[in-house]
C-alpha cells in the first residue's frame, strides 16, 4: 500500500517512447513540473500529451516540446507558448484542438470506464463535421485533418436536439501535482490547482503524483480527498524548494498609487473616519 518512490527519476524511469501522457494543470497552475523535468532527463521520445495546454516556452510541457520529445498534443489552448504555435504551423507537431469542457469530460469518461458520450458542444461546426487541421506540411497545406464524428438526435426538454459523439481518453501514464497526499496515494489539490489534475489522475493507467506535502495515512480528512488512492500508483514527495518553485505564466502589474499624495488629499476633504 505504500506507493512512495524515492525520486521523480525513479517514478518515470519506465515511461517508454511513444507513450500517451495525461498531464494535469492549467497554464502553469498545478503542473507536475518536477515529474516533467525528470521525464526530460529520462529521454522518452515520440510522446503524445493530453493536457489543457503545453506550458510556456521555458517551463512545464514546453520543456519537452522544445526538446522535440512530443509528436502530438491533444489540448484546448495554444496559450502563451510561441514554440507550440511555431511547431504546429511548420508541420512539426500534430495538434488535436478540443473544446475545453469536452476535453475534461473525455478524460473523466476514460477514468470512469465510459467509452464515449454525446454532447451539444461542436454540433454544426468542424468539431463534428471534420476538417480541422491536425497537421500541416512545411508549406502550410493540411496533411492530416480531423475525421467527421457521429451526430445523433435525442429528445430533450426543449425538443429534438443534435448531439455529437466524443470518445473517451485513456493514457498510458498520468502526471499530476497535489498540495497534500498520503502514502496510499490519496490526494488533495489546493484552490485552482484542482483544475485538470483530478481528471488526468483518473484516466492514466499508471498515475504518478508529485505532492508538496506528504502525510501519513489517516491524516487526510476523507471528506476532503479529491483523488482517491485507487487511481494513483506512485507518489513522489517534493522537497520544500521544489514545492515552492511555482512560476507565473503572465505577470500583469501597475504602478503603486502615490500614497503620500493620496493621504494629503484625503486629509483635506473630510474629517470622518474611514
SS3 label, residue 192: helix
The answer to whether 210 touches 179, Cβ cutoff 8 Å, is no
- Are residue 146 and residue 101 in the same domain, yes or no? no
* Residue 264 confidence (pLDDT): 55
Asked whether 24 and 41 are in contact (CB, 8 A), the reply is no
Q: Which residue has the cell 525513479?
A: 10
Give residue 207's domain range.
Answer: 8-115+169-244
pLDDT of residue 262: 55
Q: In this structure, is residue 257 part of a structural domain?
A: no
Q: For position 263, what pLDDT does the model report?
A: 55
Task: Please check whether residues 68 and 202 belong to one and the same domain.
Answer: yes
Residues 144 and 238 in one domain: no
Q: How many domains, in total, are found in the chain?
A: 2
Q: Do the domain assignments include residue 73?
A: yes
Residue carrying the nine cell digits 483635506: 268
In-domain check, residue 265: no
Do both 176 and 67 map to the same domain? yes
pLDDT of residue 159: 97
The Cα–Cα gap between 183 and 219 comes to: 10
The answer to whether residue 58 sits within a structural domain is: yes
What's the pLDDT score for residue 251?
A: 80
Residues in the chain: 274
Written as nine digits, the cell of 252 is: 500583469
As given in the structure block, the three cell numbers for residue 80 are: 502563451
| pLDDT score of 270 | 40
Q: Examine residue 270 and state whether it is found in any structural domain, yes or no.
A: no
* Residue 274 lies inside a defined structural domain of this protein: no
Does residue 137 belong to any structural domain of this protein? yes
What gap in Å lies between CA 85 and CA 87, rounded to an integer?
6
Looking at the fold, whether 127 and 108 belong to one and the same domain comes out as: no
Q: Are residues 106 and 91 in the same domain?
A: yes
Cα separation, 252 vs 118, whole angstroms: 39
The tens place of each residue's pLDDT in the chain, 274 residues long, gives 899 999 999 999 999 999 999 999 999 999 999 999 999 999 999 999 999 999 999 999 999 999 999 999 999 988 789 999 999 999 999 999 999 999 999 999 999 999 999 999 999 999 999 999 999 999 999 999 999 999 999 999 999 999 999 999 999 999 999 999 999 999 999 999 999 999 999 999 999 999 999 999 999 999 999 999 999 999 999 999 999 999 887 788 888 887 665 555 555 544 333 3
Do 66 and 175 reside in the same domain of the chain? Answer: yes
Judged by DSSP in three states, 123 sits in: coil
Same domain, 89 and 135: no
Examine the domain organization and report whether 108 and 120 are in the same domain.
no
Q: Which of 210, 201, 208, 198 shows the shortest CA–CA distance to 170? A: 201
Amino acid at each position: 500500500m505504500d506507493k512512495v518512490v524515492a525520486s521523480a527519476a525513479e517514478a518515470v524511469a519506465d515511461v517508454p517512447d511513444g507513450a500517451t501522457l495525461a498531464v494535469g494543470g492549467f497554464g502553469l497552475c498545478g503542473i507536475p513540473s518536477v515529474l516533467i523535468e525528470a521525464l526530460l532527463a529520462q529521454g522518452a521520445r515520440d510522446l503524445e500529451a493530453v493536457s489543457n495546454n503545453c506550458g510556456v516556452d521555458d517551463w512545464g510541457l514546453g520543456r519537452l516540446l522544445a526538446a522535440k520529445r512530443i509528436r502530438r498534443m491533444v489540448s484546448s489552448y495554444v496559450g502563451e507558448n510561441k514554440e507550440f504555435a511555431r511547431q504546429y504551423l511548420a508541420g512539426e507537431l500534430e495538434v488535436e484542438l478540443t473544446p475545453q469542457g469536452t476535453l475534461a469530460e473525455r478524460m473523466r469518461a476514460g477514468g470512469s470506464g465510459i467509452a464515449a458520450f454525446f454532447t451539444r458542444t461542436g454540433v454544426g461546426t468542424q468539431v463534428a463535421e471534420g476538417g480541422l487541421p491536425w497537421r500541416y506540411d512545411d508549406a502550410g497545406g493540411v496533411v492530416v485533418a480531423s475525421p467527421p464524428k457521429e451526430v445523433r438526435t435525442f429528445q430533450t426538454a426543449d425538443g429534438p436536439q443534435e448531439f455529437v459523439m466524443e470518445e473517451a481518453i485513456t493514457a498510458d501514464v498520468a502526471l499530476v501535482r497535489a498540495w497534500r497526499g498520503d502514502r496510499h496515494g490519496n490526494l488533495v489539490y489546493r484552490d485552482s490547482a484542482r483544475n485538470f489534475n483530478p481528471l488526468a489522475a483518473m484516466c492514466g493507467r499508471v498515475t504518478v503524483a508529485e505532492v508538496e506535502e506528504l502525510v501519513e495515512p489517516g491524516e487526510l480528512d476523507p471528506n476532503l480527498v479529491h483523488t482517491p488512492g485507487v487511481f494513483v500508483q506512485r507518489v513522489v514527495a517534493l522537497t520544500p524548494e521544489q514545492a515552492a518553485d511555482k512560476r507565473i505564466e503572465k505577470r500583469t502589474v501597475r504602478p503603486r498609487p502615490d500614497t503620500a499624495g493620496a493621504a494629503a488629499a484625503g486629509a483635506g476633504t473630510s474629517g470622518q473616519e474611514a
